[in-house]
Chain A
Amino acid sequence: MLLRKLLRTAWSYKAQFISMIIMMTLGIGIFLGFNMEWKTIEYDVGNFFEQTKYADYRLYSETGFTKDDLEKIASIDGVDAATRYLSVNLEIKGDSKKALALDVSENYTVSQFTLMDGDGYDENGDGIWLSDKFAKLNDIRIGDTLTLEFQGLDISGKVAGLIKSGEHMICLADSNQVMPDFNTFGFAYISPAKLGEIIRERALNTVKDELKKAGVPDEMINEQAEKMLTDEALAEAADKAFLQINLLSALEKSELEDAVKEKLGKTLMVVPKEDHAVYKEAMGEATEGKAMGSILPVLFLAIAILTMVTTMHRISTQEKTQIGVLKALGFKNRTILLHYSFYGLFIGVVGAALGGVLGYFVCKMVMSENGMMGTYFDMPDWSAATPAFCYPIVAGTVLLLALISFLSVRVQLRGTAADALRPYTPKKMKKSVLEKLPFFSGMSFSTKWNLRDLMRHKSRFAMTLVGIVGCMILLVGGLGMRDTMAGFLDLLDNGISHYATKVNIVENAEREKVDKLIADLDGDWESYSGISIDGYTATLDIVCNENGRFRIIDENNKDIDLRDDGVYLCLRLADRAKIGEYIEFSPYGGEEAYRVKVVGYNRSIMTESVTMTDKYADELGIKYSVSAVYTNKDSSEIPSSELISGKQDKRQLMDSFQSFVSIMDSMVFILVVAAVILGIVVLYNLGIMSYVERSRELATLKVLGFRNKKIGQLLISQNIWLTVIGVILGLPAGLGTLYWMLTALAGEYEMKLMLGPLTYSVSILLTFSVSLLVGWMVARKNKKIDMVEALKNTE
């Protein structure tokens, strides 16, 4: 029988019940969704890395690694496996807009791939194992022939299999690219045997050129060249090709660095997986998920729980007579408490169940092949995973709701059955601090009425504010993120980059030839390399931008006229030294150290860098090679050359951001929808509560002769007051949250908050619209108020 009463009572408070269930669903759904998202990243990415033997460390050498070097490295205690590794970006022949990272794992013990279709790996195979995503988007099938251009040489082979690889799980052409674009850039593996053939052919061509120059007759060139090409020469050419050793090891970075130095007799650039772009970005996403998982769900859960406290208190006061009747009838306190605790339990269980479903969808919306991360990560398994701590938290929340109901009703059960039977007496009105304000007495009756009502019902007041502030935070955060991203892209596109094509130069290219290429392309250039500042890894950026193909800017986005007597620290390194102070750095792969004066700070959007002019670098005697040339020529006008390792069209690069922007748009959409739902649910629930609490006063006003419209205005004006306060508090809170989110979510880029007037206006207007809509929905009820009924009972 009590169950029937429970259901009927729940139905009579349906607005409150539904809104609390929605809040619980949102709270638990978002909590689970975000936490499942990062856990899924960690779990699936971790599995994929393990499956493909993703390297724990990468060692780099500009001069390459010999087989002997590899053996020495492999013999280090604690190194489980090591391979010489090559990864080079190559254009597809006949289509300068498309390129592949071509990888070779010499002994295939580290950095493997996962076969999705076709033939498995064969160390002597002649085929090409191609990224399945690239193949699909470019309509390439198994058995098709693929030709790549490698420094003036054609590499041709049949597609043997379609693959995915941990090394290229986030497949980016270089550090400038933010989002993978498999339409234009993918990856492929070839066997070391095939690489050997390519190296042989390339070496043979070089010898033939030399013989031709020496005047050897054409008919003898081939034979002579074959004779001149010794195994030693070939081995030397292969050594130069393998600029990287990938290894599996649980050693600490410093331990490995020391061991490598001891074995090879020189310092090498040792990059742990934590600093490798793919691992760093993937784990960065998980960290971002954790960060997101710790603020939004907390906001929603806190609001859900607070709404529950306020609403259950109101329901229990309204049910006080019923509670008294049950007590008078002889029901034990325990039975009554249990009965009412079921209200909270019911809301909790339904909310948790729906929240679980919502959480799964939120997670899948982000972490699935067709979800937001589907364009970012390229991996075979997208199974959802839930962190273990989520289960007790969800169970605890459900129990907490039951406890809230329990405690709310226990208050009403105090004393005798006769006490319980008496209707609930609201708090007596007392003078608040507001009354002491000099201008208070001059306020209109409706203002005073509303202000005192708020002071009388502080928890409702606080909850409404939390709802409005939450709504503003989500709107400013969401729309502001979009603005900031748009500003960032505009700065990158129009502010910094004034070139059409970025031409990447091969390592160890002859400087004279590079200078000629720079002149031919009428370009500017930069050299970037890894340096250590007191053990911290940064990029040394040596620039020559006489033609203004790219700009170095200060924190206000103004051009910096670079000085030739010092370095510029990017803003993220600014705390390392003040202007005028000195820093010391040493390039990786060498023993030298340079002490330089800091002459300014610059904004370096993509990398954490120390920037200097080529003149200053020459003066210091730093050895460097040109990494990239920036030109206004279209990539199709730039012929392939042994100097060029790849070309990147600026338009193509900017287009690759589009998928990033569309992910951002989806997130903004979710945040705006969440803001509106949050606003409507919280404000409607509290609005109805306020309406019920004040129904007697409203009826009195009606009896006195106040028109419905005037009473409606009175109700809405309270919402407007609260919205004004909420907006004033919510705006800085939203900006703070956005700043925090940018730091947490995009720490790898130097972004500045850039919010347009439209974002401010839309956030404020939307919050006001939600508030007014809810106010109007509640005020409409005023028409139906039964004056006679409302005035019947005593307060």
Chain B
Amino acid sequence: MAIVKFDNVSRIYTSGDHELRALDHVSFTLDEGKFVVILGPSGAGKSTLLNLLGGLDSPSEGTITVSGSDISKLTDNELADYRASTVGFVFQFYNLIPTLTVYENVKLVSEISENALGAKDMIGKVGLLDHLNNFPSELSGGEQQRISIARALCKNPKILLCDEPTGALDSETGVMVLKLLLDMAKNYGKTIVIVTHNQNIAKMADVVIRVKNGKIRDITEQENPLSADEVEW
């Protein structure tokens, strides 16, 4: 069943007389529970696509439907509610709140999400119960990203959106984080969308969307995706 539908979506940035089409009439659908990788070089429009899906930005043209609701015309507050209830984000640079502890960073989302899961439980799932009272700056990059995953999942969102989640990590830690991300998403039955330019990650995906110059070059469904351990990093 399709959970996401992009219908003829464009995102145009204007600067004076200049017009830049970051996305140009893009259409596709994503099924629920799938692991989707959006692949493309820098400036291809993959992050724009993720931002539109995440409700961080609104399309200039076309409609985006998520779980049957059109999110392309939502107001600021409605978009905030959408982000709070439907999507969870994992960023390249973690974006944890530096003045909150590990526990508080994860617990934070329970203030806005009605279906939030237990914060301690989630931290336990990412294996950082020993660091509950540490501040983010006291953790390694991999640990911070694990907390970021715990925070994203704690909201209990339908879709997990990850923007280069391993981009700031060494390859060993990156694999570990990736495995965790996939396991967690699978365990909780989430749709997961990862934006990356790392071809290896694409080998693990159910669906690979290749983007170039703001257009979708192709969409590939992989029958037998590899596990993280099977991929040569």
Contact = CB atoms under 8 A, between A and B. Distances in A.
A705 B81 contact: yes
Interface stretch (B24-32, B109-117, B189-197, B224-232): B109-117
Given A430-B135, A449-B100, A794 B93 contact: yes
A2 interface: no
Contacts of B91: 791
Interface stretch (B50-58, B120-128, B172-180, B201-209): B50-58
A345 B34 CA distance: 61
A429 B56 contact: no
Contacts of B70: none
B89 A704 contact: yes
A696 interface: yes
A697 interface: yes
Contacts, number: 90
B54 A448 contact: no
Interface in A673-726: 696-697, 699-710
A705 B93 contact: no
Nearest to A446: B111
Contact of A449 (B82, B96, B99): B99
Contacts of B96: 700
Contacts of A707: 76-77, 80-81
- Residue from B76, B93, B95, B168 whose CB has the most chain A CB atoms within 10 Å: B95
Contact of B89 (A703, A706, A794): A703
A456 interface: yes
Contacts of B81: 705, 707
A783 interface: yes
Contact of A429 (B84, B93, B107, B136): B136
Contacts of A710: 112
A702 B89 CA distance: 11
B219 to A, nearest CB: 24
Nearest to B54: A703
A401 B232 CA distance: 58
A268 B130 CA distance: 91
Q: Is the interface of A mostly helix, strand, loop or mixed?
A: helix
Contacts of A706: 80, 84, 111-112
Nearest to A453: B99
Contacts of B54: 703
B97 interface: yes
B42 to A, nearest CB: 12
Contact of B80 (A456, A699, A708, A788): A708
A709 B107 CA distance: 20
Given A428-B137, A429-B137, A708-B80, A445 B100 contact: yes
A445 B104 contact: yes
Interface in A527-559: none
B93 A704 contact: no
Contacts of A704: 83-84, 89, 108-109, 112, 151, 155
Given A456-B99, A708-B76, A794-B93, A703 B83 contact: yes
B118 interface: no
Contact of A787 (B56, B82, B108): B56
Contact of B93 (A428, A448, A795): A795
A240 interface: no
A793 interface: yes
A456 B97 CA distance: 13
A697 B80 contact: no
A438 to B, nearest CB: 15
Contacts of A430: 135
B112 A705 contact: yes
B145 interface: no
B166 interface: no
Nearest to B97: A697
Interface string A765-795: 0000000000000000001000110010111
A383 B47 CA distance: 69
B135 A429 contact: yes
A791 B163 CA distance: 11
A426 interface: yes
B108 A705 contact: no
A702 B98 contact: no
A700 B95 contact: yes
Interface in A256-301: none
A791 B97 CA distance: 12
Contact of B57 (A426, A700, A788): A788
B112 A429 contact: no
B72 interface: no
Nearest to A794: B93
Contacts of A788: 47, 51, 56-57
A705 B95 contact: no
A701 B111 CA distance: 11
Interface string A392-427: 000000000000000000000000000000000010
A452 interface: yes
A445 to B, nearest CB: 6
Given A445-B100, A448-B100, A708 B77 contact: yes
B85 interface: yes
Interface in B128-175: 135-138, 151, 155, 168
A423 to B, nearest CB: 12
Interface in A472-494: none
In the A-B complex, the 3 residue pairs with the smallest Cβ-Cβ separation, listed nearest first, are A705-B84, A452-B99, A705-B83
29 contacts: A428-B138, A429-B135, A429-B136, A445-B104, A448-B99, A448-B100, A449-B99, A456-B99, A697-B97, A700-B96, A701-B97, A702-B80, A702-B83, A703-B56, A704-B83, A704-B84, A704-B108, A704-B151, A704-B155, A705-B112, A705-B113, A706-B80, A706-B111, A788-B56, A788-B57, A791-B91, A791-B93, A793-B93, A795-B93
Interface of B: 47, 51, 54, 56-57, 76-77, 80-85, 89, 91, 93, 95-100, 104, 107-109, 111-113, 135-138, 151, 155, 168
Given A429-B99, A696-B95, A791-B93, 20 more contacts: A428-B137, A428-B138, A445-B104, A448-B99, A449-B99, A452-B100, A699-B95, A700-B95, A701-B97, A703-B83, A703-B89, A704-B83, A704-B109, A705-B84, A705-B155, A707-B77, A708-B77, A787-B51, A794-B93, A795-B93
Interface of A: 426, 428-431, 445, 448-449, 452-453, 456, 696-697, 699-710, 783, 787-788, 791, 793-795
